[in-house]
């Protein structure tokens, strides 16, 4: 009797993820600069260094996250933290998380994160800020994974060098690597960012969304058929941990509005003409 052939193994079921930039996408500021005051109070900063960093931060916020502005902010922050004690930084961030970030978190982003989780999607925060700052914020938001910059450390202190800079194409590559490890279907996944510097991140997934986009990203979004979202309702992080009945109603209302907007975007994208794909798409 001829043995029956062994059936091929069933293909692995890929999962879906949502990738969120942090600064000016989930929160309305730069996460690194938001901790200037507690770092000053803790003796890590001088008033002169706060003023220099504040100027770079103001240019970043008002002018948009161009490559040049982001690089200047990166260099300034890298110089600033050289020699800092890593454990002290972690303690300050943990102790002052709410006062430094509140009320900077967009309610629309919170609702969208909740929608992705309700749909069974993993949520990943992808930020150029340092992991010591990004990870506590991501944990409070209920994110499943974090991609963040990693500073070089020697004998418990920052050397000023960067082991991994989560910026530009590096973000896209980190997303590909995480997808390979976690089994994400990038074609079915989504990404959200405010800046043209994150075009590679938006282009690596099947559903890109420009959030409060700068001018260059708005133009590219029109060419690529990416959705455009407006976030403008900040909420306190503390309210996310202990939501009141009113907070639940507000988030539920925002969630409904976001869902309606996404459905409308999906319908209009099926009829809107697509432009020529960019090299980053």
Three-state DSSP class for residue 99: helix
Does 23 qualify as catalytic in the annotation? yes
Q: Using CA of residue 234, residue 213, residue 110, residue 72, what is the dihedral sign?
A: negative
CB 207 within 8 A of CB 191: yes
Buried b (16+ CB within 10 A) or exposed e, 164-199: ebbbbebbbebbeebbeeeebebeebbbbbbbbbbb
CB 118 within 8 A of CB 258: no
Active-site residue, from 23, 122, 194, 239: 23
Active-site residue, from 8, 21, 85, 185: 21
Q: Pull the structure tokens for residue 281.
A: 């798409």
CA–CA gap between residue 105 and residue 144 (Å, rounded) = 18
| Closest among 220, 157, 162 to 194, alpha carbons compared | 220
Q: Which residues are catalytic?
A: 21, 23
């Amino acid at each position: 009797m001829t043995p029956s052939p062994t059936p091929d193994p069933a293909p692995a079921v890929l999962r879906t993820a949502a990738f969120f930039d942090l600064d000016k996408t989930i929160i309305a500021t730069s996460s690194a600069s938001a901790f200037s005051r507690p770092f000053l109070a803790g003796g890590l900063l001088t008033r002169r260094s706060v003023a220099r960093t504040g100027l770079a931060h103001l240019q970043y916020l008002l002018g948009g996250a161009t490559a040049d502005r982001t690089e200047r902010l990166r260099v300034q922050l890298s110089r600033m933290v050289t020699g800092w004690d890593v454990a002290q930084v972690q303690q300050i961030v943990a102790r002052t998380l709410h006062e430094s970030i509140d009320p900077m978190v967009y309610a629309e982003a919170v609702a969208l994160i909740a929608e992705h989780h309700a749909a069974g999607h993993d949520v990943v925060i992808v930020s150029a800020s340092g992991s010591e700052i990004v990870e506590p914020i991501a944990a409070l938001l209920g994110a499943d994974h974090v991609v963040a910059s990693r500073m070089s450390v020697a004998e418990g202190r920052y050397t000023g060098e960067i082991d991994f800079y989560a910026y530009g194409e590096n973000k896209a590559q980190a997303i590909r690597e995480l997808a390979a490890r976690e089994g994400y279907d990038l074609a079915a996944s989504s990404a959200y960012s405010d800046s043209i510097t994150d075009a590679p991140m938006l282009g690596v997934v099947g559903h890109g969304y420009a959030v409060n986009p700068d001018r260059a990203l708005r133009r590219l979004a029109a060419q690529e058929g990416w959705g455009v979202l407006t976030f403008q309702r900040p909420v306190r992080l503390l309210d996310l941990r202990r939501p009141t009945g009113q907070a639940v109603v507000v988030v539920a209302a925002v969630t409904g509005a976001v869902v309606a907007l996404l459905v409308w975007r999906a319908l209009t994208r099926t009829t809107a003409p697509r432009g020529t794909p960019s090299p980053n798409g």
